[in-house]
Amino acid sequence: MVETIQEGCRVLLLTERRKRYLVKVKPGVRFHTSEGYVDLSDLIGKRYGTRLTSNTGSVWFALKPTILDIVMKMPRPTQIVYPKDLGTIILLGNIRPGSRVLEAGTGSGVLTAVIASYVMPDGVVYSYDIVGEHLENARKQLEELGLLQYVRLKQGDVTVAIEERDLDTVVLDIPTPWLAVPNAYEALSDGGIFVSLSPTIDQVVETVEKLNSSGFVDITTIELLMRTLRVKRGMTRPDHIMRAHTAYITVARKACQGIQG
């Protein structure tokens, strides 16, 4: 069955100059850019991937947005987690359908939404933040994405207490993750996975030292650097600008203290 664009649908508009715009299709609305405008009404009933032309002759494509396209356009009250780190967190955290995951802090809700899209339909994300406004903003975004049913938003400080138990994964994006390590240990199931994002190496050192003394093993810290290429026959080369350091990612697994195999 061919899916067509309907009123109220989100569409990713890719312009001739490779600009990307996430729009919601509404009748009678013109979407304007530096490359001209298109009537969004003209998209209704068309297939995703449809080619269209702006009033200035610029060629655009109407694409079906991915979850990443959507979350990267969400409001940003705090620093977001970048795509290159999002995918690594999902894999290293072994996050999959049915997983029970704790995340702190919620912030802009980007990581919350991505994790929720992976644990559905049977899993759950417990997302903590100490700022109520962040939680309310995230609630609105998650509801619009149809993901709120898979998330429990909680105002609280994970360095003080974590209520949940038998979690599969704990993901921390907070200023002092080492202070939450003992609580994360108690909250995780045996062999559960701890993931922490930190922008500075000093935070990493504190966290790794605490993990070592708190019953965690298989401790690893990585940094991901991503460089895109400008591809043209006979002229292919790396782009001059790259997304370099965003965060260090520390991963560890819970071992059973005092239990002999």
Q: For strand 100-104 and strand 124-129, is the pairing parallel, antiparallel, or unpaired?
A: parallel
Residue 129 marked ligand-binding: yes
Query: b or e along 86-112 (b: 16 or more beta carbons within 10 Å of the residue's beta carbon)?
Result: bebbbebbbbeeebbbbbbbbbbbbbb
**pLDDT (tens digit per residue) in 90-142:** 999 999 999 999 999 999 899 999 999 999 999 999 999 999 999 999 999 99
- For residue 261, the model assigns a pLDDT of 42
Q: Establish whether 218 is an annotated binding residue.
A: no
Question: Would the annotation count 87 as a binding residue?
Answer: no
32 marked ligand binding residue: no
| pLDDT in the model for residue 258 | 57
pTM: 0.90
E-strand stretches of 173-235: 188-198, 216-223, 229-230
Return phi, psi of residue 253, to 5°: -125, 145
* Three-state secondary structure call for residue 119: helix
- The HSE-up count of residue 192 (CA atoms within 13 Å, CB side) is 22
Q: Is 61 exposed, middle or buried (0-12, 13-18, 19+ CB in 10 A)?
A: middle
Angle at 73 between CA 71 and CA 78, to 5 degrees: 80
- CATH 3.40.50.150 correct for 69-254: yes
131 is in an annotated binding site: no
Query: How confident is the model over 185-201, as pLDDT tens digits?
Result: 999 999 999 999 999 99
Of 39, 35, 42, 41, give the one whose Cα is nearest residue 56. Answer: 35
Tell me what pLDDT residue 122 has. Answer: 97
- For residues 69 and 24, the answer to whether their CB atoms sit within 8 Å is no
Bridge partners of 224, per DSSP, are: none
Instruction: Say whether 222 sits in a helix, a strand or coil.
Output: strand
For Cα atoms 166, 170, 171, give the angle at the middle one, nearest 5 degrees.
165
69 labelled ligand-binding: no
Contacts with 251 (C-beta within 8 Å, 6 or more apart), sequence order? 92, 93, 193, 194, 195, 196, 218, 219, 220, 221, 222
List the domain boundaries for the chain. 10-65, 69-254
Asked if residues 31 and 21 have their Cβ atoms less than 8 Å apart, the reply is yes
Class of domain 10-65 as given by CATH: alpha beta
Is 110 annotated in a binding site? The answer is yes
Residue pair 124/103 in contact by the 8 Å Cβ criterion: no
* Cis, bond preceding 121 (omega within 30 deg of 0): yes
The tens place of each residue's pLDDT in the chain, 261 residues long, gives: 789 999 999 999 999 999 999 999 999 999 999 999 999 999 999 999 999 999 999 999 999 999 999 988 887 777 778 899 999 999 999 999 999 999 999 998 999 999 999 999 999 999 999 999 999 999 999 999 999 999 999 999 999 999 999 999 999 999 999 999 999 999 999 999 999 999 999 999 999 999 999 999 999 999 999 999 999 999 999 998 888 899 999 999 999 875 544
* Interatomic CA distance for residues 78 and 76, integer angstroms: 5
Check whether 54 is labelled as a binding-site residue: no
